[in-house]
Amino acid sequence: MKINKIYAIACLLLSTGVQQSMAQTAPVYDQHEAFAPLFYPAPGNEYRSAGGQPGPKYWQNTADYKMEVTLDTTQHRISGSVLITYKNNSPDQLPFLWLQLDQNIYREGSRGSATVAATGERFANRSFTQGFELKAVNLVVNGKTMAANYLVNDTRMQIRLADAMKTGASLQIKIDYAYTVPEYGTDRNGRLRTPNGWIYEIAQWYPRMAVYDDILGWNNIPYLGASEFYLEYGNFDYSITAPANMLLGGSGELVNEAQVLSPKEISRLAKARNSEETVMIRDSVEVKNNTAKGNRTWHFVCKNSRDVAWGASSAFVWDAARINLPGGKKALAQSLYPPEIGGSNAWGRSTEYVKGCIEHYSKTWFSYTYPVATNVAGIVGGMEYPGIVFCSAKSTRGGLWGVTDHEFGHNWFPMIVGTNERKYAWMDEGFNTFINGISTAQFNKGEYNSPQNAQRMAALLFSPRAEAIMNTPDVIDLSYNGVAAYFKPAMGLNLLRNEILGPDRFDYAFREYIKRWAFKHPTPWDFFRTIENVAGEDLSWFWRGWFFSTWKLDQAVKGVQYVKNDPAQGALITIQNLQQMPMPVVVAIKDVNGKTDTVRLPVEIWQRGASWTFHYPSTVKLSSVVIDPAGNFPDIKPANNSWKADTGIPVPAGTTGATVLKRYIDAIGGADKLKGVKDLVLDEEGDVSGTQMELHIKATPDKRLETVYIPIASLTAMKLLINGNEVRIARSGQEVPLSASDKAILKDKNLLFPELYFAAPEYNAKLELSPTMEDVNGAPAYVVSIATPNGALVKNYYDAKTGFKVRSIALVGQESGGGSETTTDYADYREEGGILMPHKMQSNIGGYNNSLTLKKAVINGGLSDEVFKW
């Protein structure tokens, strides 16, 4: 499922982390803990081998489904029956069975509704239904039909058998049921009203077997909304009766085209199956002129799948194209969407995106396994099912590529590799986010590629709210779930691939993992063992630090000396590992003659302790030593990653931090003009890595209301209020608890024209002017480090010629001596009400490039106190 990266990025826009000094800190690193010899909790066995592959006696149960349902569009109801054929392949006898009734989450009083924050959230129930209404539950055993003895408990149903199922035995469960389709179904299913009719995105629409495995037996964790699914594989045969003017698309293959499509549509579909270009099968004119009456029954078959879903609407236009698969095989890419969102900037390119990502994943990792790939536009922001995905009708351009690519990536994780999403979201979301990065870099020569800087993502990964990846999704705070389930595991695989193992070793091991566990149920340990055994590397230090803990990375250059004080005899470079996470080290070295070199040191250097000195064969003095110059590692304090010999333009005599700040104040309008601002409104627009965002600020000298709005999701991703002693933050609708220190720092960081305060002696800010100027975008700038009385830290750069502030680095740290940076560049100063303000802002927030343009500024417009209320 797609959790928009904006949710996490917006949290950084108003970060509240405890801040730390830039000074070098003492190491907290313990090599004995990092490289402890015992990692795996148990040896391999006959079901799961020590090498990571399924053992000789590996087993899993199967479930085949036959559904016949009717869609009532006047009542928004689905009714019908499901016949489940369940086979016990386990060595155990089963005296009872567990099924999943996920629609019951929408009942008032369900565990899912009870565990949603009062302020609401993405997975909240916006309205309630009766869930599954069970009309009859019967068993068919040895040809005999009998009423089942069953118990419904929230989103689960237990069937108690008169005689336990023996190994190898099969039985059938027939359930007659109905339910009302929720308008908003926890962002996984629902319906959307359009000018030409409702769009239905139908999922979790039938009772499904829970998984019985060799790890836990029955997996019956209730469905609470944030966690997804764990399902058995089988074959599906399903029929849907719907109004005749509706177009349907579903998992698998439509097997009765002649009964539900017009001759013209059948002809166009045949053309699309052999076309590299997108072919329109039902266009907007045909949608408008469709007056078919009565009902039609659509019949689909999906083989070797864990689930099926479908979409239906009278509003759909339909286009399609051929997918080219390895070995000369082919599949069909198709898109269903309302005509008003077509066009080359939106859903008119959807099929191109479907085709592009599936061809890439099939060539790179494992061939796509379904005959059709369908993208449905609707109310769901982004959700995956076998052979079909639901994506937001509001998505456009790079946003539509991103959600389409992500949801179809899920056809590899967890549709092909059938992990337990309810316990280990990172094994599908994280792995999928990882492969998404590679596919985006390659699609259409990188059309939507926005490379991320891991170093700049450190503040996001290791925030004070950080939680270990190895947690269940329902336990992780929603404001951090996108990091723990998506970004951090994806970055971990990128580190393995690009920095630790190399692409050749990693890709071979990753493909082997997919091949071994295709249509099976791997655990995290199976993944860890496979990568280690196939790549030939003990990675226990990495799994322990990256997945099981919140260890931080902080590598530093301590200093440079020369052998016998003679550069010609070589340099002795000392580096440190100041936090608990060890990593390999990449060191860029430059000498005074301009010669550059790169030294790579393995992670094993940290087995000897927190400090390491290595010899570099210099012939002249060195000018700089930089750890990780490309920013490929998430180092929380990049400020200590470099050593430079004394160079640069000296600051003129008599210049102080206070004089630099006064010069800036004069440059933008003068102290009197700034003090005359009683209230200020700023509206800014821009994007974060291609996704549109808006920043709205209303402020007075002692009050501030700031919101980050994401139009595509109709979401207020961040809200900040400062009103005297009242300081509050909400992220995606959830209020964040703040300590007294957090509140004080937030007030310091959000002052109106902060330099007025920093430059005032009575404010008691500590100003530190760097003795040399630094280059910012080709021009020398003064560097002033500022520490407020309450502990907020910022480093500002002021152009030596104009006096304007051209860069600001917010130093956001963690409790244990860390420190991460968010950098913002300012440009295009223009007058607004007699004050010069930057109209262009470029930031890197959590590794994502963010650009904002000032669209509106109102000074002294008369804001009332009523504005500044929560």
* Cβ contact 61:88 at 8 Å: yes
> Would you call 494 helix, strand, or coil by DSSP?
helix
> Would you call 604 helix, strand, or coil by DSSP?
helix
Integer Cα distance of 870 and 863 in angstroms: 15
Predicted confidence at residue 21, as pLDDT, reads: 36
Predicted confidence at residue 14, as pLDDT, reads: 44
Which residues in the chain come in under a pLDDT of 70? 2-26, 117-126, 647, 689-690, 811-821, 845-848
Strand-pair category, 388-392 with 372-378: parallel
Question: Mind listing the pLDDT tens digit for each residue in 157-209?
Answer: 999 999 999 999 999 999 999 999 999 998 999 999 999 999 999 999 999 99
Integer Cα distance of 782 and 806 in angstroms: 10
Hey, what amino acid is at 492?
A: G
**Residues whose CB is less than 8 angstroms from the CB of residue 88 and which lie 6 or more positions away in sequence, other chains included:** 61, 94, 165, 166, 167, 168, 169, 170, 212
Give Cα separations from 219 to 60, 226, 519 (angstroms). 13, 17, 17
Nearest to 621 by CA among 646, 598, 639: 646
**Residues whose CB is less than 8 angstroms from the CB of residue 202 and which lie 6 or more positions away in sequence, other chains included:** 71, 78, 181, 189, 309, 310, 311, 312
How many other C-beta atoms are found inside a 10 Å radius of the C-beta of residue 554? 29
Predicted confidence at residue 117, as pLDDT, reads: 60
Delineate the domains of the chain, giving CATH numbers in brackets. Answer: 5-19+651-867 (2.50.20.10), 59-232 (2.60.40), 254-291+313-420 (3.30.2010.30)
> Given the structure tokens 């200093």, which residue do they identify?
559
* Cβ contact 154:58 at 8 Å: no
Integer Cα distance of 395 and 255 in angstroms: 31
Predicted confidence at residue 24, as pLDDT, reads: 46
DSSP secondary-structure letter at 222? P
What is the chain's percent helix, strand, coil content, to nearest 5?
25, 35, 40
**Burial class of residue 345 in the structure, from the number of CB atoms within 10 Å of its CB (0-12 exposed, 13-18 middle, 19+ buried):** exposed
- Strand blocks (E) in 711-847: 715-723, 726-731, 734-736, 766-769, 772-776, 779-787, 793-799, 805-812, 820-832, 835-845
Strand-pair category, 388-392 with 382-385: antiparallel
Integer Cα distance of 322 and 337 in angstroms: 18
Nearest to 61 by CA among 306, 353, 415, 310: 306
Confidence (pTM) = 0.85
Helical residues (DSSP H) of 63-194, grouped into ranges: 111-114
**CA 284 from chain center: how many Å?**
34
Three-state SS letters, 42-92: CCCCCCECCCCCECCCCCCCEEEEEEEEEEECCCCEEEEEEEEEEECCCCC
**Residues making up the chain, counted from first to last:** 870
Predicted confidence at residue 646, as pLDDT, reads: 74
Predicted confidence at residue 4, as pLDDT, reads: 47
